[in-house]
């Protein structure tokens, strides 16, 4: 976490930053642009299931300056089970609120198809965007992985959006933070820039707030997301139930 640690809520041994969106924006925008690189992660149920399955990834999330819960389903389940829970601040909400405040700044984007990036740049003409589209399979391509990190360090942008999916984006941010020549803030936000560009339609507000955004996403991309929402997410919920039972037995 950053030097000024926000309040945290520990759920399944993951420390979530329990602060509202406006406080997050204030914290990010007040940070000196040339400060040593730090990053924000936005774990959802799929991330949580992966962290439970691959514990070595925990250090990547623990090093983040902010760890924001991006799942109303997890928050609802935690309340029902009597577990502590953090407020929900999704990567999409953070991106939507932050981008209009970045006018005049250089902003790096790692990921996104060229067509989607062009839409994003057209929607926010006041932002000086720089773009790097790495190839697929970064975790199995050391050169491409290091090229992406080199790009972020070379730009010196005060804000970098990592939009290559989890866990690749978090690992890229972690590797960037390990470099002495890296500056700015990195945001691991998955598909959020596609929502911001208009290339992907987000769920209606009522679906987001009622924990049904996953259903909207599933109907948009069933082949890619079925495994996440129908297999990984229930595993995370099961782990929460087991945790709640253990707490009651203490």
Per the domain annotation, does 178 fall within a domain? yes
98 in any annotated domain: yes
Domain of 207 in residue numbering reads as: 8-249
Name the region of 18 (left: φ>0; alpha: ψ -120 to 50; beta: rest).
Answer: beta
pLDDT score for 219: 75
According to the model, what pLDDT value does residue 59 have? 96
CB contact at 8 A, 92 and 66: no
Inside any domain, residue 1: no
Closest CA to 169 of 148, 194, 150: 148
Q: Are 158 and 37 in contact (CB under 8 A)?
A: no
Q: How far apart are CA 239 and CA 124, in angstroms?
A: 41
Q: For the chain, what is the domain count?
A: 1
In this structure, is residue 3 part of a structural domain? no
- 84 belongs to a structural domain: yes
The set of residues, in sequence order, having a beta carbon less than 8 Å from that of 83 and lying 6+ positions away, is 11, 77, 240, 243, 244, 247
In a domain, 2, yes or no: no
Which regions of the chain does DSSP assign to beta strands (E)? 8-11, 14-17, 38-41, 66-67, 106-111, 128-132, 159-163, 185-188
The confidence score (pLDDT) of residue 195 equals: 94
Residue with tokens 């720089």: 130
pTM for this model (two decimals): 0.90
Q: Does residue 209 form part of some domain?
A: yes
Give the pair of three-digit tokens for residue 64: 């983040």
**Using a CB cutoff of 8 Å and minimum separation of 24, what contacts does 113-119 make?**
115/199, 116/193, 116/194, 116/197, 116/199, 117/197, 119/197, 119/198, 119/199
What values do phi and psi take at 41, rounded to 5? Answer: -115, 150
pLDDT at 3: 45
Residue 157 · residue 33 · CB < 8 Å: no
pLDDT at residue 84 in the model: 87
Does residue 107 form part of some domain?
yes
Q: C-alpha dihedral over 129, 35, 187, 16, to 10 degrees?
A: -160
pLDDT, residue 199, reads 92
Q: Per-10-residue mean pLDDT for the chain, 250 residues long? A: 73 93 98 97 93 92 97 90 92 98 98 97 98 95 98 98 97 98 98 94 78 73 68 74 70
Measured distance CA(192)–CA(200) in Å, rounded: 9
């Amino acid at each position: 976490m950053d030097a000024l640690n926000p309040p945290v809520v520990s759920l399944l041994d993951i420390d979530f930053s329990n602060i509202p969106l406006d406080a997050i924006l204030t914290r990010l925008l007040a940070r000196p642009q040339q400060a040593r690189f730090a990053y924000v992660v936005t774990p959802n149920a799929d991330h949580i299931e992966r962290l439970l399955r691959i514990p070595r990834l925990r250090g990547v999330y623990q090093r983040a300056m902010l760890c924001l819960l991006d799942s109303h389903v997890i928050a609802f389940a935690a309340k029902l089970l009597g577990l502590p829970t953090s407020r929900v601040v999704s990567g999409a909400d953070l991106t939507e609120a932050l981008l209009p405040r970045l006018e005049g700044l250089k902003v790096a984007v790692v990921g996104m198809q060229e067509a989607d990036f062009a839409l994003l740049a057209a929607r926010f003409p006041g932002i000086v965007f720089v773009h790097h589209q790495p190839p697929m399979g970064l975790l199995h391509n050391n050169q491409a992985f290091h090229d992406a990190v080199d790009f972020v360090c070379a730009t010196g942008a005060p804000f970098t959006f990592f939009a290559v999916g989890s866990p690749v984006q978090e690992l890229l941010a972690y590797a960037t933070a390990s470099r002495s020549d890296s500056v700015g803030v990195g945001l691991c936000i998955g598909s959020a820039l596609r929502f911001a560009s208009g290339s992907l339609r987000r769920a209606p507000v009522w679906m987001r707030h009622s924990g049904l955004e996953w259903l909207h996403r599933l109907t948009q991309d069933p082949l890619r997301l079925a495994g996440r929402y129908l297999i990984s997410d229930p595993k995370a919920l099961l782990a929460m139930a087991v945790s709640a039972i253990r707490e009651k037995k203490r």
